[in-house]
Amino acid sequence: MPVSPTDSSFRSLVTTLRSAGCVFAEDEADLLIATARDAAELAVMADRRVAGMPLEHVLGWAEFLGTRMAVDPGVFVPRRRTGFLVECAVALAPPSAVVVDLCCGSGALGAAVVRALGGGELHAADIEPTAVSCARRNVGAVGGRVYEGDLYDPLPAALVGRVDVLVVNAPYVPSAEIGFLPPEARDHEPRVALDGGADGLDIQRRVSAGAARWLAPGGALLVETSERQAPRTVAAFADHGLCPRIAVHEELDATVVIGTRPVYGTRPV
């Protein structure tokens, strides 16, 4: 049962959070109070937040497109801008779509797509055991399955040539820029979920290299990237037989590259 502190204790919590640099201290205090089961747990949660742990890790969940997704400590926190990738995927997906979420982290992305579609066949994969454990709760809630392994390696062979929508929020921060990330990301999220190699596109290239084999004819690969990197992502898609285009949401500062497998032509092997 959530705690019900007095006005003075609420103000004290707000002051503590604000002193630690929390810009939205009042909102965070409300969330901590609503989540904590008792005063002792509230104190522990407040201490973790003051120490710099992301609010989502402190709470154990993140709101993503109106749904609370489980997010354990050490798991990448889904960003608001990634909702645009979901929007793009839903617009392309056929009824009862086969959806695959690679580099799934918490599984929020794939789960949101299937939830928005009102159903579908969802498979997700990640190389991080902690992320896989977390994703199984979110993906399982919509009837999906989660696999542990590197990109396509753990996926069942029965999915080859059947995937309608392949969504990927692969790491795309260049290695040399990791140190400039906010401490909440740099210190509390796994580097494997952030570091995209020298130019940030190492994982995107590997994903695009294998995508056509797994996509159904007319199926689409959707990858979140940055505006600066998008032209190179487009080139990688084209190099591997996909028909690429760029979608942008200026308000969210979100860029998605979409690559469609041609309906006609030789089937990839």
- Cα(116)–Cα(168) distance, integer angstroms: 17
DSSP the chain: ------HHHHHHHHHHHHHTT-TTHHHHHHHHHHH-SSHHHHHHHHHHHHTT--HHHHHTEEEETTEEEE--TTSPPPPGGGHHHHHHHHHHPPTT-EEEEES-TTSHHHHHHHHHHT--EEEEEES-HHHHHHHHHHHHTTT-EEEESSTTTTS-GGGTTTEEEEEE----B-GGGGGGS-HHHHHHS-GGGTB--TTS-HHHHHHHHHHHHHEEEEEEEEEEE-TTTHHHHHHHHHHTT-EEEEEEETTTTEEEEEEE--SSSPPP-
Can you give the pTM of this predicted structure? 0.88
Question: What is the tens place of the pLDDT at every residue in 189-232?
Answer: 666 766 667 787 889 999 999 999 999 999 999 999 999 999 99
Check pLDDT > 50 for residue 269: no
Q: Which residue has the higher pLDDT, 8 or 127?
A: 127
pLDDT for residue 242: 97
pLDDT in tens, 222-268: 999 999 999 999 999 999 999 999 999 999 999 999 999 998 765 54
